[in-house]
């Protein structure tokens, strides 16, 4: 079993829709949870960063962590064509050098 599982999609939604992206994980030691956005032929860029459980909001983006279910989500409200990208979840434990990445979900927002 992989440490982090992420549905690869592809996901296609109309402009203005609410998008839900999800990852599950198996290691209960994970404490830091990140979402990266990667445009085609570019490197990943950090979108959201959350420590432990709870919600974090930044503009149209909300990151949610449910440690009891080992499940994290990224919600995008009022999705825009510029949100079309691959979204990677990533996790790490409190200390250490390893980051564990999902394989990414490809999102297309149709105008």
Partner 1 sequence: DVKVTQSSRYLVKRTGEKVFLECVQDMDHENMFWYRQDPGLGLRLIYFSYDVKMKEKGDIPEGYSVSREKKERFSLILESASTNQTSMYLCASRLFSGANVLTFGAGSRLTVL
Size of residue set near partner 1 by CB under 8 A: 25
Nearer to partner 1, 49 or 75 (CB): 49
- Judged by CB under 8 A, which of 23, 36, 85, 109 binds partner 1? 36
SS (H, E, C) the chain: CCCEEECCCCEEEECCCCEEEEEEECCCCCCEEEEEEECCCCCCEEEEEEECCEEEEECCEEEEEECCCCEEEEEECCCCHHHCEEEEEEEECCCCCCCEECCCEEEEEEC
10, 42, 66, 80: which one contacts partner 1 (CB under 8 A)? 42
Using CB under 8 A as the binding rule, whether residue 104 contacts partner 1 is answered as yes
| Interface residue list for partner 1 (CB under 8 A) | 8, 32, 34, 36, 41-46, 49, 51, 88, 90, 92, 94-99, 101-104
């Amino acid at each position: 079993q992989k440490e982090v599982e992420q549905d690869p999609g592809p996901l296609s939604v109309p402009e203005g829709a609410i998008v839900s992206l999800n990852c599950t994980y198996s290691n209960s030691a994970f404490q830091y949870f990140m979402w990266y956005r990667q445009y085609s032929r570019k490197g990943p860029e950090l979108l959201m960063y959350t420590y432990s459980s709870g919600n974090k909001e930044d503009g149209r983006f909300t990151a949610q962590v449910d440690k009891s279910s080992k499940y994290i989500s990224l919600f995008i409200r009022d999705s825009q064509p510029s949100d079309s990208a691959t979204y990677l979840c990533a996790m790490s434990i409190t200390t250490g050098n390893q980051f564990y990445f999902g394989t990414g979900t490809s999102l297309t927002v149709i105008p």
